[in-house]
A and B are shown apart, each in its own frame.
Chain A
Amino acid sequence: MISIIIIVLGIIMILAAFLAIRLKNLLSAIISAGVISLLASVIYLLLAAPDVAMTEAAIGSGLTTIIFIFTLKKIRKGDLDD
């Protein structure tokens, strides 16, 4: 049962990674890159590694996504100034 869930989550992760490369809208690409980390943390939880799952959920899908979004905001502001 758990292995089926893990395989489904892995397939969704690969799809999200593909979307993160292919999407033209950068904000959507950042969010789908965050989805990869979130699903990875669910997989860690299912594999009985709650410590790693917490780190992945907090840093991978939380902080990294936010830092990317802040950077995107800064880049766009620079574009407007030129």
Chain B
Amino acid sequence: MSKKHEVPEVDIVIDEEAGVIREVKPEKTRSKKGHERRVNTSIYVILILMSIIWLAPFFFLVFQSFRSYATESGGMVDYLLPKQWSLDNYKWLLESQESNFLRWYGNTLIIAIFSAAIQTIMVLSVSYALSRLRFRGRKLIMNVVLVLGMFPGFLTMITLYFLLKQLGLTQTGAIPGLILIYVASSGMGYYISKGFFDTIPKSLDESARIDGATRFQVFKKIIMPLAKPIVIYTILMAFMAPWGDYVFASYVAFGSEPNYNVAVGLYRWVNVADYQGYFTRFCAGGVLVAVPITALFLALQKYYVEGVTGGAVKG
């Protein structure tokens, strides 16, 4: 569609002293200004409302977690701000003999770190291979995986449970069992990173191979540094999924409390255990769960924005 060429409205002023003709743009008309302001205001109102909706549960959680367990109720109350602020709940989580919180937190951390590490390597290798190598059945593999990926993972729950049980990887073996589950099909998540690798010109690979690099050296020395944003993305995703997983963790570890992950443990408190007694502790646990994810995001987010391929090829 061709855009109509706009002729700017100008007033011509003759500057006699300087002996030149100047063009002066007239001020925007008042009604136009007013219209802009109205639009802006309504946009801001909408944004503020949305952010309140988003942030409310978070603040609710934080406030509850700081409510004193000793002087107020540990359960649900009908007011938002604590009457007495205290660290009771956190202290209990971290210090009490009754609390398995630290154990669960550790379990989750181990599972998430191992899964993230293995999964990242798998996803990146699979995507690079699918992006760069041409082999028989490549298209078929990609399509089959795409279709398989449309089935939710928990459909395989029962089969997986029996398999893991045979291998002794349930209950007390839940941690390696869960790592295995999270990592097993991770190569199927190649889609996004393959898309990214496809944007890196193939001639860089070719040039490096002629320069004397093996396929692996090309991957390590050329592609990985250029793919930083997608590597970071993959790590984050691979870390977050096991970190917050409930479905698989709840049944693989079922019946063995010390092997719960943090999501399962916390949920059991408010669901199975004493609901009124554990609510504020549950909230404090929730806040602590959010800490590593937030830290990871803050530390890694700047790599997202970096444009990295500039100047590689003509441009």
Bind each other: no
Give chain A's interface residues, CB within 8 Å of chain B: none
